[in-house]
Structure 1
C-alpha cells in the first residue's frame, strides 16, 4: 500500500465491512501517521476500540457515527498510550459503557521496566496515559461479546506492558 492510498477523513465513519467502522481521530503525528484509528464494532450493541485522545471533535465524531438504535456497550482500550486511551473514561460516562483493558498503565511491565520506573524513568518519553484505569481488566485469552460480535484479548507486551 502506498502512503497516499490511506487518506481517510478525520471524524468521518468509514464502513470497513463485517460490522466494523473506523473513525480517524484528528491527531496526525509521526507516531499516529494520519491519526489514531478508532473502531466501532457491532450492529446494535457497539464496542468502541481505542477511543483515542481527549478531543471534543473526536468524541462528537464517535457519538455521531452511531446509528439510530445503536448503543455503546463496551469501550475497549488496547493499550494506554495518549493517542489511544484518554477519551475512554469520558466516552464511558457519556454512554454508560464500561471501559475494558489489560490493566492500568503500569500493568504487565517487565522486570527491566519496573526497575526503570522505580528509578523515576516511568514515562521515558513514551506518551503514557498515567491515569488510565479500566473499569474491568481483561486477562490474556479472555473473550468479550456483544450481541453480534466477540473479541478475544491477546496480551502482547512490547509496545507497552498493558498492550
Structure 2
C-alpha cells in the first residue's frame, strides 16, 4: 500500500492546495494531509480550525485522511511508516526552497523519505494563503481562491479583529 503525506500549515486551505490534494490522492492508495503546528509562524486559524476546514474540503475523497503534527516532518514520517512527501510548486522560487527542504529530509531520514513535487494547475499558480488572507482583510473577493465556507470563516476572523 503506497501512502504519501502532504504537509503544510493550510492557513487557510486554498483551491491550489485542493488541486494538489486531489491529484496526489489519485496517485497513492492513501494520502495523509498533515497540518503542521509550526512554532515559527503565527497562524490566523487555530490548528483545530484548519483541520476542520480541510476535513470539510476533502470529505468526498475516501482515501484522504487529515491529521496534525508538530516537530520534524521526518519524525512524523518515521512514526507513521511514510516514505513519500508531496509538495506543490507554483514557481521556480518555490522549487529552490522546496528542493533544499527535500534534500535535507532525505539526508536526515537516511534516504528513507523521498519528495514528489507536483506543479500546481496554472489557474492557481498565483495563489498563496498569505495573499488570500490579505485580500480578505480588506474585504476583497476571495471566492475564486477558496471554498465558500473558508471564505466565510476568513471574513468572520477579520470582522472580529
Q: TM-score scaled by structure 1?
A: 0.30
Q: Which has the higher helix share?
A: 2
The one of the two structures with greater contact order (alpha-carbon pairs below 8 A, sep at least 6) is 2
